[in-house]
Chain A
Amino acid sequence: DVVMTQTPPSLSVAIGQSVSISCKSSQSLVYSDGKTYLHWLLQSSGRSPKRLIYQVSNLDSGVPDRFSGTGSQKDFTLKISRVEAKDLGVYYCAQTTHFPYTFGAGTKLELK
């Protein structure tokens, strides 16, 4: 199985600060169609996960451009600029290139 290593496990941030979360995979996430199926999800307390970014860098509808995703092959980063209170929760990277699909362990974003 593809192991997704996400760091850091937690982040303490002040409102307005910028943060980055790293996600590294044990194998390349480039699929045979040339696309990279690496996504970022946010799970706010007690809620279902919500996808923010798909295929490395594409923002889902309604997601503010304070969020950005970069990376390739096995090394990916989620950046959040000017953190707002509604951004708090647990962020997961997820790969759907290889079966079984796998997730990072999560990064908990908390207020400082």
Chain B
Amino acid sequence: EVQLQQSGPEVGRPGSSVKISCKASGYTFTDYVMNWVKQSPGQGLEWIGWIDPEYGSTDYAEKFKKKATLTADTSSSTAYIQLSSLTSEDTATYFCALTTLYWGQGVMVTVSS
């Protein structure tokens, strides 16, 4: 059974960075790209980008190119997203997703001083 287990909620100060993890199980981690999706409070879904864990290659939506950095650790089957230079606009829930079928439970990131 495919499972995507994400890390816990984060609180970050404005201007700081946070790093969220997504541990995958139930399939071969390097066989599929991992997507990341943002959902601002009460809003819809925005695709951030994907990472190919086998090669480390990435692709980002334009608006997230300077905000998000995607990485993956094949030894632990874990994907990561780091969000930098946090502002209130980054307060949201962040999901990892394998294709559009399997989703992590989401991580709430709150930016607050």
Contacts and interface: CB of A to CB of B under 8 A. Distances in A.
A48 B103 contact: yes
Contact of A105 (B44, B62, B95, B97): B44
A34 interface: no
Interface residues of B, number: 19
A50 interface: yes
A48 B105 contact: yes
Interface residues of A, number: 20
A4 to B, nearest CB: 10
A104 interface: yes
A41 B101 CA distance: 9
Interface string B80-113: 0000000000000001010111011110000000
A21 interface: no
A101 interface: yes
Given A101-B35, A103-B46, A41 B95 contact: no
Q: Which 10 residue pairs are nearest across A and B when measured between Cβ atoms?
A: A100-B61, A48-B103, A101-B47, A103-B45, A106-B44, A51-B101, A39-B100, A105-B44, A51-B100, A100-B47
